[in-house]
Amino acid sequence: MALPPVAELPALPLHEAGKYVAGAYVVLFALVLIYLAIMAIRMSRLERELGDLLARAQERATPERQRTQEREAP
């Protein structure tokens, strides 16, 4: 496909070029937003996992504390 050099092409009028420029910037922000949404999902998964571990650790600590209290009791 033979295209003329960019310098020889006429500039698009503002109302015509505006939609392309807006499209390009929207693409950038859409990419960032999609990435942030994926990040948010991953963070909430990590939070759940951490909560699960915390519950497990607390569950384990409770009987140990009871045993200690029983030992310390006269």
CB closer to other proteins out of 10 and 74: 10
40 scored as a contact of other proteins (CB under 8 A):
no
Helix (H) or strand (E) run with residue 48 in it: helix 14-72
CB of 46 to other proteins, least distance (A): 6
Specify the amino acid at residue 33.
L
In this structure, the chain runs to a length of: 74
With vertex at residue 8, the alpha carbon angle to CA 27 and CA 26, rounded to the nearest 5 degrees, is: 10
DSSP label of 1:
-
28 scored as a contact of other proteins (CB under 8 A):
yes
| Residues in touch with other proteins (CB under 8 A) | 1-7, 9, 11-14, 16-18, 20-21, 23-25, 27-28, 31-32, 35, 39, 42-43, 46, 49-50, 52-53, 56-57, 60
